[in-house]
Amino acid sequence: MEDADDKASEQKPVLSTESKVAETAAAGDAAATEMDSMLSDKAEGGGASERVLNQDEIDNLLGFDASSGDTQERSGIQAIINSALVSYERLPLLEIVFDRLVRLMTTSLRNFTSDNVEVSLDNISSIRFGDYLNSIPLPAILAVFRAEELDNYGLLTVESNLIYSIVDVLLGGRRGTAAMRIEGRPYTTIERSLVQRMIEVVLGDMKSAFEPLSPVTFNLDRLEINPRFAAIARPANAAVLVKLRVDMEDRGGRIELLLPYATLEPIRELLLQMFMGEKFGRDSIWEGHLATELWRTNVDIEAVLDELPMTLNQVMNFEVGQTLLLNATPNSPIEMRCGGVALLTGRMGRVGHQVAVRVESNVQQKNLLQIEGQK
């Protein structure tokens, strides 16, 4: 019995220790649960600054659209980076010119290839020149052309798919078969010649497209394979990029047209118009009203018989009754001026009790006749 009591007394402290440990663990769990609830309440109430952004919020902040893969969104930090670019939307008439170019190219390329050709305008965007050179998919043919009246250059890029399609069509390839694309070799002389003919057709259509706005002649300067040799502007300069899609049944490719803003600067005022023939700040009603009021305006006319050069000392010494001798007679021609500008010449006479001048000639017409006589 004594042994059983000793064993019971030895086991009691052990049971109490285990119960304390369990109570401590339970208290710790309760404290942790309470802390989590407090943190969640704080985050919902006023602790938004400690909340971690998810991937969608980070993409929106940076201006990226992960769903469409488009990195050119005008929002967030991306908008700040691209804020230095000049948007083509500030030149509304430029889009009308390129729409006209698409229609002209559809007709001319059909005549050039004797095939069913459809040309469509993919998009018009603004881009830095250096970024465009780095984004050109190689191999490709880059045509550098010169706008004569604008005194600057532009760039026309023909993708490899369109190059092989044009070669296949012009050399009598069968319909319904995709053009064979050979990688790892430069373009042959025949391929370059055929593509050059197509580029000349496109440049001729560009001339016709710009003609209603302003006469511009586009002449092909050279063909390049390496984009480094096609540098026509500084890398940071802004340019307008036009992407055209050429489809010939199951064959085709893309033509990209790049015009630096420096090239379009001489006709910038024309491109700012919302429609062809728009005139800024001009109202025909007010023009007619202003012209009517001008015709009714009274002006002072001075009839000058003669002029006598004198010194300031002689003028200061004028006296009452002094006579000034003029080198003019009653039959001398009289010059009539308005605001110091000579307008008419005439002869002096009398009408009733008043001295009058009869107009005989116009000074401007007289000067023109003298100039023509000297020629």
- The mean pLDDT of 70-93, rounded to a whole number, is 59
Pick the most confident of 44-58, 79-93, 335-349: 335-349
Amino acid at 311: T
Distance from C-alpha of 175 to C-alpha of 125, rounded to nearest angstrom: 34
Question: Could you tell me if 111 and 66 lie in one domain?
Answer: no
Question: Could you tell me if 229 and 126 lie in one domain?
Answer: yes
Report yes or no on 25 lying in a domain.
no
Report yes or no on 12 lying in a domain.
no
Question: Could you tell me if 63 and 99 lie in one domain?
Answer: no
Q: Please enumerate in sequence order all residues whose Cβ is within 8 A of that of 328, keeping only pairs 6 or more positions apart, or say none.
A: 305, 306
Report yes or no on 32 lying in a domain.
no
- The mean pLDDT of 181-189, rounded to a whole number, is 73
Report yes or no on 72 lying in a domain.
yes
Structural domain ending residue among the three candidates 84, 106, 126: 84
The answer on pLDDT for 155 being more than 90 is yes
Q: What is the pLDDT of residue 36?
A: 60
Question: Could you tell me if 239 and 127 lie in one domain?
Answer: yes
Range of the domain at 221: 88-271
Amino acid at 206: M
Question: Could you tell me if 239 and 99 lie in one domain?
Answer: yes
Model confidence at 153, pLDDT cuts 50, 70, 90, reads very high
Report yes or no on 2 lying in a domain.
no
Question: Could you tell me if 208 and 60 lie in one domain?
Answer: no
Higher pLDDT, 210 or 56: 210
Whether a cis peptide bond, with omega within 30° of 0, leads into 333 is no
- The DSSP bridge partners found for residue 354 are 351
Question: Could you tell me if 198 and 74 lie in one domain?
Answer: no
The answer on pLDDT for 2 being more than 90 is no
Task: Express each pLDDT in 258-283 by its tens digit.
Answer: 999 889 888 888 887 766 554 545 56
Question: Could you tell me if 80 and 92 lie in one domain?
Answer: no
Report yes or no on 345 lying in a domain.
yes
Distance from C-alpha of 114 to C-alpha of 133, rounded to nearest angstrom: 33
Task: Express each pLDDT in 235-259 by its tens digit.
Answer: 888 889 999 999 987 788 899 999 9
Q: What is the pLDDT of residue 70?
A: 47
- The mean pLDDT of 105-121, rounded to a whole number, is 90
Q: What is the pLDDT of residue 56?
A: 78
Distance from C-alpha of 77 to C-alpha of 108, rounded to nearest angstrom: 44
Nearest to 188 by CA among 177, 196, 199: 196
Report yes or no on 185 lying in a domain.
yes
CA atoms within 13 A on the CB side of 193: 5
Q: What is the pLDDT of residue 7?
A: 47
Task: Count Cβ atoms within 10 A of the Cβ of residue 127 and give its class: 0-12 exposed, 13-18 middle, 19 or more buried.
Answer: middle
Model confidence at 47, pLDDT cuts 50, 70, 90, reads very low
What CATH number did the domain enclosing 304 receive? 2.30.330.10
Model confidence at 198, pLDDT cuts 50, 70, 90, reads very high
Structural domain ending residue among the three candidates 42, 60, 84: 84
How many domains does one find in the chain?
A: 3
Average of per-residue pLDDT values in the chain: 78
Question: Could you tell me if 351 and 220 lie in one domain?
Answer: no
Structural domain ending residue among the three candidates 66, 84, 102: 84
Tokens representing residue 16 in the block: 């109490």
Report yes or no on 33 lying in a domain.
no
Question: Could you tell me if 94 and 74 lie in one domain?
Answer: no
In the numeric block, the tokens 């008419």 are attached to 344
Task: Express each pLDDT in 217-228 by its tens digit.
Answer: 999 999 988 888
The answer on pLDDT for 284 being more than 80 is no
Pick the most confident of 17-31, 70-84, 265-279: 265-279
How would you label 290-327 residue by residue, b for 16+ Cβ within 10 Å and e otherwise?
eeeeeeeeeeeeeeeeeeeeeeeeeeeeeeeeeeeeee
Question: Could you tell me if 229 and 370 lie in one domain?
Answer: no
Question: Could you tell me if 65 and 135 lie in one domain?
Answer: no
Q: What is the pLDDT of residue 245?
A: 93
SS (HEC) of the chain: CHHHHHHHHHHHHHHHHHHHHHHHHHHHHHHHHHHHHHHHHHHHHCCHHHCCCCHHHHHHHHCCECCCCECCCCCHHHHHHHHHCCCHHHCHHHHHHHHHHHHHHHHHHHHHHCCCCEEEEEEEEEEEHHHHHHHCCCCEEEEEEEECCCCEEEEEEEEHHHHHHHHHHHCCCCCCCCCCCCCCCCCCHHHHHHHHHHHHHHHHHHHHHHCCCCCCCEEEEEEECCHHHHCCCCCCCEEEEEEEEEEECCEEEEEEEEEEHHHHHHHHHHHCCCCCCCCCCCCHHHHHHHHHHHHCCCCCCEEECCCCCCCHHHHHCCCCCCCCCCCCCCCCCEEEEECCEEEEEEEEEEECCEEEEEEEEEHHHHHHHHHHHHC
What CATH number did the domain enclosing 102 receive? 3.40.1550.10
